Amino acid sequence: MFDGFTLDRVEVGDVSLRVRHGGSGPPVVLVHGHPRTHTTWHAVAPRLAEHHFVVTPDLRGYGRSTLPPDAPDHAQSAKRAMAQDIVALMAHLGHDRFAVAGHDRGALVAFRTAMDHPAAVSHLVVMDGLPVVEHLERTDARFAQAWWHWWFLGQTDKPAERVINADPGAWYRTPAPDEMGEENHADVWAAYRDPAVVHGMAEDYRAGLGIDRAHDEADRAAGRKVQCPAMLLESADDDLDIHGDPAEIWKPWLVHPLRHRIIHSGHHQAEQAPGEVADALLDFLGS
Protein backbone atom coordinates (compact mmCIF):
# COMPACT_ATOMS: atom_id res chain seq x y z
CA MET A 1 0.00 0.00 0.00
CA PHE A 2 1.37 3.44 -0.99
CA ASP A 3 4.47 1.97 -2.62
CA GLY A 4 7.12 4.66 -2.98
CA PHE A 5 5.44 6.97 -0.45
CA THR A 6 7.03 8.22 2.77
CA LEU A 7 5.14 7.75 6.03
CA ASP A 8 5.84 10.81 8.16
CA ARG A 9 4.77 12.65 11.29
CA VAL A 10 4.69 16.43 11.11
CA GLU A 11 4.13 18.88 13.96
CA VAL A 12 1.87 21.75 12.89
CA GLY A 13 0.96 24.16 15.65
CA ASP A 14 -0.82 22.32 18.43
CA VAL A 15 -1.27 19.00 16.62
CA SER A 16 0.88 16.21 15.25
CA LEU A 17 -0.28 14.88 11.88
CA ARG A 18 0.37 11.42 10.48
CA VAL A 19 0.89 11.87 6.76
CA ARG A 20 2.05 10.02 3.67
CA HIS A 21 3.60 11.80 0.72
CA GLY A 22 5.14 10.75 -2.56
CA GLY A 23 5.51 11.41 -6.26
CA SER A 24 6.67 14.54 -8.01
CA GLY A 25 5.07 17.40 -9.87
CA PRO A 26 2.45 19.99 -8.92
CA PRO A 27 1.33 19.33 -5.33
CA VAL A 28 -2.11 18.00 -4.37
CA VAL A 29 -3.51 17.22 -0.93
CA LEU A 30 -6.07 14.42 -0.54
CA VAL A 31 -8.30 14.83 2.53
CA HIS A 32 -10.32 11.88 3.83
CA GLY A 33 -13.76 12.01 5.42
CA HIS A 34 -15.64 10.28 8.25
CA PRO A 35 -15.12 7.60 9.42
CA ARG A 36 -11.93 6.93 7.46
CA THR A 37 -8.23 7.73 7.65
CA HIS A 38 -5.79 8.79 4.94
CA THR A 39 -5.47 5.14 3.86
CA THR A 40 -8.82 5.44 2.07
CA TRP A 41 -6.75 6.95 -0.81
CA HIS A 42 -4.47 3.91 -1.17
CA ALA A 43 -5.66 3.08 -4.71
CA VAL A 44 -5.89 6.70 -5.90
CA ALA A 45 -2.73 8.32 -4.55
CA PRO A 46 -0.23 6.14 -6.49
CA ARG A 47 -1.97 6.98 -9.78
CA LEU A 48 -1.79 10.68 -9.04
CA ALA A 49 1.83 10.39 -7.91
CA GLU A 50 2.84 9.58 -11.48
CA HIS A 51 2.20 13.25 -12.27
CA HIS A 52 1.90 15.06 -8.92
CA PHE A 53 3.47 15.36 -5.48
CA VAL A 54 0.68 13.79 -3.41
CA VAL A 55 0.11 14.43 0.30
CA THR A 56 -2.43 12.41 2.31
CA PRO A 57 -2.77 13.33 6.02
CA ASP A 58 -4.98 12.04 8.77
CA LEU A 59 -7.13 14.97 9.86
CA ARG A 60 -6.66 16.20 13.42
CA GLY A 61 -8.56 13.86 15.73
CA TYR A 62 -8.70 11.08 13.12
CA GLY A 63 -6.48 8.06 12.58
CA ARG A 64 -3.16 8.64 14.30
CA SER A 65 -3.17 12.43 14.22
CA THR A 66 -3.64 14.18 17.54
CA LEU A 67 -6.34 16.57 18.77
CA PRO A 68 -5.89 19.44 21.25
CA PRO A 69 -8.04 19.56 24.38
CA ASP A 70 -11.68 20.51 23.87
CA ALA A 71 -12.18 24.25 23.41
CA PRO A 72 -15.26 26.49 23.65
CA ASP A 73 -17.61 25.99 20.69
CA HIS A 74 -15.56 22.89 19.75
CA ALA A 75 -13.18 25.27 17.98
CA GLN A 76 -10.32 22.77 18.19
CA SER A 77 -12.25 20.66 15.63
CA ALA A 78 -13.46 23.49 13.41
CA LYS A 79 -12.80 23.12 9.71
CA ARG A 80 -10.92 26.42 9.98
CA ALA A 81 -8.44 24.76 12.35
CA MET A 82 -8.15 21.72 10.08
CA ALA A 83 -7.59 23.96 7.05
CA GLN A 84 -4.80 25.76 8.89
CA ASP A 85 -3.23 22.36 9.56
CA ILE A 86 -3.23 21.64 5.81
CA VAL A 87 -1.57 24.94 4.97
CA ALA A 88 1.05 24.49 7.70
CA LEU A 89 1.71 20.91 6.62
CA MET A 90 2.26 21.93 3.01
CA ALA A 91 4.53 24.80 4.06
CA HIS A 92 6.58 22.29 6.06
CA LEU A 93 6.87 20.16 2.93
CA GLY A 94 8.00 23.17 0.91
CA HIS A 95 4.82 24.18 -0.90
CA ASP A 96 2.94 27.46 -0.50
CA ARG A 97 0.43 26.70 -3.29
CA PHE A 98 -1.33 23.41 -3.98
CA ALA A 99 -4.52 21.72 -5.09
CA VAL A 100 -6.80 20.17 -2.47
CA ALA A 101 -9.39 17.42 -2.85
CA GLY A 102 -11.61 16.35 0.02
CA HIS A 103 -14.26 13.70 0.52
CA ASP A 104 -17.23 13.86 2.92
CA ARG A 105 -16.06 15.80 6.02
CA GLY A 106 -12.81 16.29 4.16
CA ALA A 107 -14.77 18.19 1.51
CA LEU A 108 -15.66 20.71 4.23
CA VAL A 109 -11.97 21.00 5.12
CA ALA A 110 -10.98 21.43 1.48
CA PHE A 111 -13.66 24.10 1.02
CA ARG A 112 -12.57 25.94 4.15
CA THR A 113 -8.93 25.80 3.01
CA ALA A 114 -9.88 27.45 -0.28
CA MET A 115 -12.03 30.06 1.47
CA ASP A 116 -9.54 30.98 4.20
CA HIS A 117 -6.36 30.67 2.16
CA PRO A 118 -7.20 31.68 -1.43
CA ALA A 119 -3.58 32.41 -2.33
CA ALA A 120 -2.59 28.87 -1.32
CA VAL A 121 -5.16 26.82 -3.24
CA SER A 122 -4.83 26.37 -6.99
CA HIS A 123 -7.72 23.88 -7.49
CA LEU A 124 -10.55 22.71 -5.24
CA VAL A 125 -12.24 19.30 -5.53
CA VAL A 126 -15.19 18.45 -3.30
CA MET A 127 -16.44 14.87 -3.23
CA ASP A 128 -19.92 14.19 -1.84
CA GLY A 129 -19.98 17.40 0.16
CA LEU A 130 -21.69 20.79 0.44
CA PRO A 131 -20.99 23.80 2.66
CA VAL A 132 -22.37 22.76 6.02
CA VAL A 133 -24.70 25.76 6.21
CA GLU A 134 -26.43 24.61 3.01
CA HIS A 135 -27.37 21.34 4.69
CA LEU A 136 -28.43 22.88 7.98
CA GLU A 137 -30.62 25.57 6.42
CA ARG A 138 -32.46 22.85 4.49
CA THR A 139 -32.94 20.49 7.41
CA ASP A 140 -36.37 18.91 7.49
CA ALA A 141 -37.77 15.61 8.79
CA ARG A 142 -36.60 13.72 5.70
CA PHE A 143 -33.02 14.99 5.96
CA ALA A 144 -32.89 14.47 9.73
CA GLN A 145 -34.06 10.88 9.33
CA ALA A 146 -31.64 10.05 6.52
CA TRP A 147 -28.62 11.82 8.01
CA TRP A 148 -29.46 11.14 11.67
CA HIS A 149 -25.84 10.44 12.59
CA TRP A 150 -25.13 14.18 12.31
CA TRP A 151 -27.39 14.83 15.29
CA PHE A 152 -26.32 11.74 17.26
CA LEU A 153 -22.63 12.57 16.96
CA GLY A 154 -23.16 16.32 17.27
CA GLN A 155 -25.15 16.46 20.49
CA THR A 156 -23.46 16.60 23.91
CA ASP A 157 -26.26 15.88 26.39
CA LYS A 158 -25.73 12.12 26.08
CA PRO A 159 -22.37 11.86 24.33
CA ALA A 160 -22.16 9.41 21.47
CA GLU A 161 -18.75 8.22 22.63
CA ARG A 162 -20.25 6.17 25.47
CA VAL A 163 -22.44 4.24 23.06
CA ILE A 164 -19.78 3.73 20.37
CA ASN A 165 -16.89 2.80 22.66
CA ALA A 166 -19.01 0.18 24.43
CA ASP A 167 -19.02 -1.87 21.21
CA PRO A 168 -17.31 -0.33 18.16
CA GLY A 169 -17.98 -3.48 16.16
CA ALA A 170 -21.71 -3.02 16.57
CA TRP A 171 -21.60 0.64 15.53
CA TYR A 172 -19.27 0.74 12.52
CA ARG A 173 -19.79 -1.11 9.29
CA THR A 174 -17.17 -1.52 6.58
CA PRO A 175 -16.72 -3.72 3.54
CA ALA A 176 -14.58 -6.84 3.91
CA PRO A 177 -10.79 -6.46 3.81
CA ASP A 178 -10.54 -7.79 0.27
CA GLU A 179 -13.02 -5.15 -0.91
CA MET A 180 -11.53 -2.05 0.72
CA GLY A 181 -7.91 -3.23 0.90
CA GLU A 182 -6.51 -5.24 3.78
CA GLU A 183 -4.21 -2.53 5.12
CA ASN A 184 -6.87 0.15 4.74
CA HIS A 185 -9.34 -2.09 6.58
CA ALA A 186 -6.87 -2.73 9.40
CA ASP A 187 -6.03 0.97 9.69
CA VAL A 188 -9.60 2.19 10.01
CA TRP A 189 -10.55 -0.53 12.48
CA ALA A 190 -7.60 0.37 14.68
CA ALA A 191 -8.96 3.93 14.66
CA TYR A 192 -12.52 2.84 15.49
CA ARG A 193 -11.27 1.00 18.57
CA ASP A 194 -9.40 4.05 19.90
CA PRO A 195 -11.61 6.13 22.23
CA ALA A 196 -9.54 9.25 21.48
CA VAL A 197 -10.36 8.92 17.77
CA VAL A 198 -14.03 8.30 18.47
CA HIS A 199 -14.07 11.52 20.50
CA GLY A 200 -12.23 13.37 17.75
CA MET A 201 -14.77 12.26 15.15
CA ALA A 202 -17.69 13.30 17.35
CA GLU A 203 -16.08 16.69 17.97
CA ASP A 204 -15.82 17.15 14.20
CA TYR A 205 -19.61 16.88 13.97
CA ARG A 206 -20.17 19.10 17.02
CA ALA A 207 -18.09 21.80 15.37
CA GLY A 208 -20.09 21.25 12.19
CA LEU A 209 -23.38 22.08 13.88
CA GLY A 210 -22.09 25.33 15.36
CA ILE A 211 -18.82 27.10 14.66
CA ASP A 212 -18.45 25.76 11.10
CA ARG A 213 -21.91 27.02 10.24
CA ALA A 214 -21.04 30.41 11.71
CA HIS A 215 -17.94 30.62 9.53
CA ASP A 216 -19.96 29.78 6.40
CA GLU A 217 -22.59 32.37 7.30
CA ALA A 218 -19.95 35.06 7.84
CA ASP A 219 -18.35 34.32 4.47
CA ARG A 220 -21.68 34.45 2.67
CA ALA A 221 -22.65 37.71 4.35
CA ALA A 222 -19.32 39.24 3.33
CA GLY A 223 -19.65 37.99 -0.25
CA ARG A 224 -16.53 35.83 -0.05
CA LYS A 225 -16.27 33.03 -2.61
CA VAL A 226 -13.86 30.32 -3.69
CA GLN A 227 -11.42 32.03 -6.05
CA CYS A 228 -9.88 28.98 -7.76
CA PRO A 229 -11.37 26.50 -10.26
CA ALA A 230 -13.57 23.92 -8.54
CA MET A 231 -14.95 20.48 -9.32
CA LEU A 232 -17.68 18.43 -7.66
CA LEU A 233 -17.46 14.64 -7.77
CA GLU A 234 -20.85 13.17 -6.87
CA SER A 235 -21.42 9.49 -6.19
CA ALA A 236 -24.10 7.92 -8.40
CA ASP A 237 -25.29 5.68 -5.55
CA ASP A 238 -25.40 8.16 -2.67
CA ASP A 239 -27.81 10.90 -1.63
CA LEU A 240 -25.93 14.20 -1.88
CA ASP A 241 -28.90 15.35 -3.98
CA ILE A 242 -31.22 15.06 -0.98
CA HIS A 243 -31.69 18.87 -1.15
CA GLY A 244 -31.85 19.05 -4.94
CA ASP A 245 -29.08 19.46 -7.49
CA PRO A 246 -25.84 19.85 -5.50
CA ALA A 247 -24.12 21.61 -8.40
CA GLU A 248 -26.72 24.40 -8.25
CA ILE A 249 -26.21 24.69 -4.49
CA TRP A 250 -22.45 25.08 -4.98
CA LYS A 251 -22.59 27.73 -7.71
CA PRO A 252 -23.17 30.81 -5.52
CA TRP A 253 -20.01 29.94 -3.55
CA LEU A 254 -17.73 29.92 -6.59
CA VAL A 255 -16.13 32.53 -8.85
CA HIS A 256 -15.43 30.07 -11.69
CA PRO A 257 -17.94 27.76 -13.40
CA LEU A 258 -18.21 24.46 -11.55
CA ARG A 259 -17.11 21.21 -13.13
CA HIS A 260 -19.46 18.40 -12.10
CA ARG A 261 -18.79 14.70 -12.65
CA ILE A 262 -20.69 11.64 -11.53
CA ILE A 263 -18.61 8.81 -10.10
CA HIS A 264 -20.19 5.37 -10.47
CA SER A 265 -19.85 4.24 -6.88
CA GLY A 266 -21.39 4.39 -3.46
CA HIS A 267 -20.32 6.96 -0.90
CA HIS A 268 -16.68 5.87 -0.53
CA GLN A 269 -15.59 6.87 -4.02
CA ALA A 270 -11.83 6.42 -3.58
CA GLU A 271 -12.30 2.84 -2.44
CA GLN A 272 -15.14 1.79 -4.74
CA ALA A 273 -14.14 3.56 -7.98
CA PRO A 274 -10.47 4.57 -7.63
CA GLY A 275 -9.84 4.54 -11.37
CA GLU A 276 -12.70 6.94 -12.09
CA VAL A 277 -11.65 9.20 -9.24
CA ALA A 278 -8.00 9.26 -10.33
CA ASP A 279 -8.96 9.96 -13.95
CA ALA A 280 -11.26 12.81 -12.91
CA LEU A 281 -8.62 14.37 -10.67
CA LEU A 282 -5.85 14.06 -13.25
CA ASP A 283 -8.05 15.59 -15.93
CA PHE A 284 -9.09 18.50 -13.72
CA LEU A 285 -5.66 19.19 -12.25
CA GLY A 286 -4.12 19.13 -15.71
CA SER A 287 -6.64 21.58 -17.16
Catalytic residue positions, numbered: 104, 267
- Is the Cβ–Cβ distance between 98 and 27 less than 8 Å? yes
- Is the Cβ–Cβ distance between 84 and 15 less than 8 Å? no
Between CA 59 and CA 55 the distance in angstroms is: 12
- Helices then strands, counting H and E runs in the chain, come out as 15, 8
Instruction: For residue 180, give every residue at least 6 positions away whose Cβ sits within 8 Å of its Cβ, in sequence order, or none.
Output: 174, 268, 271
Instruction: At 7, give phi and psi (nearest 5°).
Output: -90, 125
- Is the Cβ–Cβ distance between 199 and 161 less than 8 Å? yes
Q: Provide the b/e sequence for 105-122 (b: ≥16 CB within 10 Å).
A: bbbbbbbbbbbbbeebbb
Q: Verify cis geometry, omega within 30 degrees of 0, for the bond prior to 229.
A: no
Residue 15, classed as helix, strand or coil, is strand
- Is the Cβ–Cβ distance between 205 and 161 less than 8 Å? no
Answer positive or negative: Cα dihedral of 132, 134, 135, 138. Answer: positive
- Is the Cβ–Cβ distance between 207 and 80 less than 8 Å? no
The edge-to-edge listing of strands for the beta sheet with 98-103 is: 6-12, 15-23, 53-57, 27-31, 98-103, 121-127, 230-235, 259-263
